Structure 1
Amino acid sequence: MSLKLISRRAVVLAATLATMAPGLALAQAKLKVAGIYTVPFEQQWAGRLHTALKAAEARGEIEYKASENVSNADYERVMREYATAGNALIVGEAFAVEAAARKVAKDFPKTAFLMGSSGKPAAPNFSVFDNYIQEPAYLSGMVAGGMTKSNKIGMVGGFPIPEVNRLMNAFMAGAKEVNPKVEFSVSFINSWFDPPKAKEAAFAMIDKGADVMYAERFGVSDAAKEKGKLAIGNVINTQPQYPDTVVASAMWHFEPSADRAIKLIKEGKFAAEDYGQYSMMKYKGSSLAPLGTFEKKVPADIVTKMKAKEKAILDGSFTVVVDDTQPKSTAK
């Protein structure tokens, strides 16, 4: 067979394959994605982003690189490096670096940015998201309200920003629904990752009678465990690490948001939008973790009420109020 004939057949075969599977080349190309986090991967919030993107990488959809513990002062430089390196999508948190992050996005209009932010999306390429998990936080509050014997619940948060406040307020509302007598002690450690400081704050509340702790930060469950009290988890399920302490957890799942962004970029349809809704239960962006080791310990009537409320949230007949105001202590 002549070289010309072989070459001609190769061209025909390539054309045929392209007709049969026009998206083949696109599907085979791995999207370059970068994650930038100001905290370690083990921190709950950043951990959810990292886990979702690692899952996409494991499926072979993306090529993923990430940086942890990036200081606010260094954030813009790292963003620019990843954008210059040709990453199609950059994911991270812009809460403390809003101006810098938006400036970088403006300088790289062909790069998609999906950033945790309290602000609005900015055309053409800066999308925002947040962990809108107030729905499972409400449900976990119902569980806490049914489990407290002293009617005193302690709550330790990172910073009193809207993203934290709304979860605490939803939790408090859920607890009050099933137990109007419950009182709350609320404090903030002004850090996203300082387990020893959170632990000390929890100890102080337990010493004043709190027998259930809302662990918005790492360290709180450790205090509860040491003192023989109970805890409610946030963002991730830590019951495997604290089987006799953590009763329930309001879970955040970043997968719906990450998968949507990746899909839209591959289709050439990514645009600036607010991804907040994809963190809600309706889109499987959040859930209440299984009661697990506490399944038989939570009062049956509380479980019944909680499951009824969960159903009402999912069918739209009940809406958890988004209250971004700073929660206050009610304990005397």
Structure 2
Amino acid sequence: MKKWMSMLLAAGMALSLLTACGGNTGDSSTADGTSDASGEEAPKIVLISNQKSGDLGPVDAMFEGAARAEADFGVTVKTMEVTDAASYEEEIRAMGKEGYDLILTTFSPMTEATKAVAADYPDVKFAAIFQNINVDGETYANVWDTEYRGEECTYVTGAIAATLSESGVLGYISGDEASGVCEAASGFMQGALSVNPDVDVKFMSVNSYEDPAKAKEIANAMIAEGVDAIQTDAGNSQIGVIEAANKAGIYVSGDVSDNSALCPNGFYAYMGIDFGENVYQAIKYFVEDSFPGGEHGYMNIASGTYYVDLTLLDALAEALPEKAETIAAAREVGEKAIEAIQNGEIEVVHDIEPPSMDRVRNY
């Protein structure tokens, strides 16, 4: 792909010279793998999502990442939405038959279909977003799959929460107890303990990502037990937690999106995930001939995929001037934690077992 990129740049320079001299360059296109002005065939890239766009979340972010790659690398990325699980393999295979050079698929429901087609098209590159393929002794030389590690992000929010807390009792409310949730809750506990070795973190699961009412009940019960800062990891259920925090006047951190409008005097952070960066990186690796096929990648703070928006603390300090000093200290703690994670000074333990403060204390 480096050759194609070099040819594209050279063609662009030649085109500029011809235009300046009044030359007639004719018509050319790089869409759908057709030839560019240099005569070199442009790469064919497709992003296949198993969820619909318009979600103001991961899929929209992925499509944005593809658009950013188009602008930066001069490629064209076809986007598809295939929501019928029975059609995953058929649609992916159709792209292989059509001669696509890079096929990106999304989330674990597409894993088996991606593996099946990748095995039959060894010359095609596959980027498996948020999937586990090159693991447990399996290796697909033409597949780069990426795992998301949220525990680094929650380490930061846990450290901030422990700094903000007056009671020393924090809460973590999740949608379920899947491994990804457990590792994130463990990360929160680790971050909190880094600030206050005597802190306590209460963990509860709603057992649903779509039950704000139950989540609110759990949050209110925690608040009654002295919890004054809660981290959510519960999808739509988080709304109930945030509402309870707003009414009780305590701190709360959300998951994935900024819901500070629901709790302007207490919403201090959220676990930001930029799925678009993963898509952008895959396309960048491909066009630069550095595609990490056969590797299992990790998306985390260091990769720029996860982030904590510390500016929310600035807004909180303005809303709560009487607590501005504590909030400023919390922001500094967050900044230092992010920097230490990025440079390797802090290595957050990856723990997928059900969250336990006793176990985390003994890491």
Match of residue 303 from structure 1? 331
Is residue 2:53 matched to residue 1:33? no
Q: Aligned runs of 1:1-332 on 2, under 5 Å?
A: 25=38, 29=42, 31-38=44-51, 42=55, 44-59=57-72, 60-67=74-81, 70-115=83-128, 116-120=130-134, 122-149=139-166, 151-158=169-176, 160-161=178-179, 163-179=180-196, 180-187=198-205, 189=207, 194=209, 196-197=210-211, 199-210=212-223, 211-227=228-244, 228=246, 229-239=250-260, 243-274=264-295, 276-277=297-298, 279-292=299-312, 293-295=315-317, 297=324, 299-327=327-355
Q: Cα RMSD (Å) of the superposition?
A: 3.5
Task: Give 1:89 shift.
Answer: 2.5
Amino acid at match of 2:304: K
| Cα distance in 1 between the residues matched to 2:316 and 2:338 | 18
Q: How much does 1:285 deviate?
A: 3.1
- Are residues 224 and 45 of structure 1, via their aligned partners in 2, closer, same or farther at CA, if it must alter by over 3 Å? same
Mark the runs of 5 or more structure 2 residues left unpaired by the alignment. Answer: 1-6, 15-35, 319-323, 359-363
Q: Residue 235 of structure 2 aligns to a residue in which SS? A: coil
C-alpha distance in 2, partners of 1:275/1:325? 21
For the residue of structure 2 that corresponds to 1:29, the secondary structure is: coil
What amino acid maps onto 2:67 in structure 1?
K
Q: Is the 8 A contact 1:165 1:324 kept in 2?
A: yes
| TM-score, scaled relative to structure 2 | 0.70
Number of residues of Structure 1 aligned to a counterpart in Structure 2: 306
Moved over 6 A (4+): none
How far 1:320 sits from its partner (Å)?
Answer: 1.4
1:120-161 per-position Cα deviation (integer Å, ceiling 9, x unaligned)? 263321111022242222011112223345524132135503
Deviations 1:199-230 (A, max 9, x none): 13421211212443323233244213432154
- Asked if 1 retains the 8 angstrom alpha-carbon contact of 2:175 and 2:205, the reply is yes
Cα offset, 1:239, TM superposition: 3.8
Relative distance call for 1:187 and 1:44 in structure 2 (3 A) is farther
Q: Deviations over 1:239-274 (max 9, x none)?
A: 467644531123233455433321332345534243
Letter in 2 for 1:160: A
CA contact (8 A) 1:132 1:276 kept: no
The answer to whether the 8 A contact 1:156-1:189 is kept is: yes
**Do the aligned residues in 2 keep the contact of 1:141 with 1:173 (CA within 8 Å)?**
yes
Q: Which segments of 5 or more consecutive residues in structure 1 lack a partner in the other structure?
A: 1-13
Shift of 1:184: 1.4
**Superposed displacement of residue 168, structure 1:** 2.0
Question: What amino acid sits opposite 2:181 in the alignment?
Answer: V
Partner of 1:3 in structure 2? Answer: none
The amino acid across from 2:316 in the alignment is F
Letter in 1 for 2:123: K
Question: What's the counterpart of residue 33 of structure 2?
Answer: none
TM-superposed CA distance for 1:317, in Å, is 1.8
Match of 1:175, as an amino acid? A
Q: In structure 2, the residue corresponding to 1:109 is in which secondary structure?
A: coil
Q: Structure 2 vs 1, CA of residues 158 and 64 (structure 1 numbering), >3 Å: closer, same or farther?
A: farther
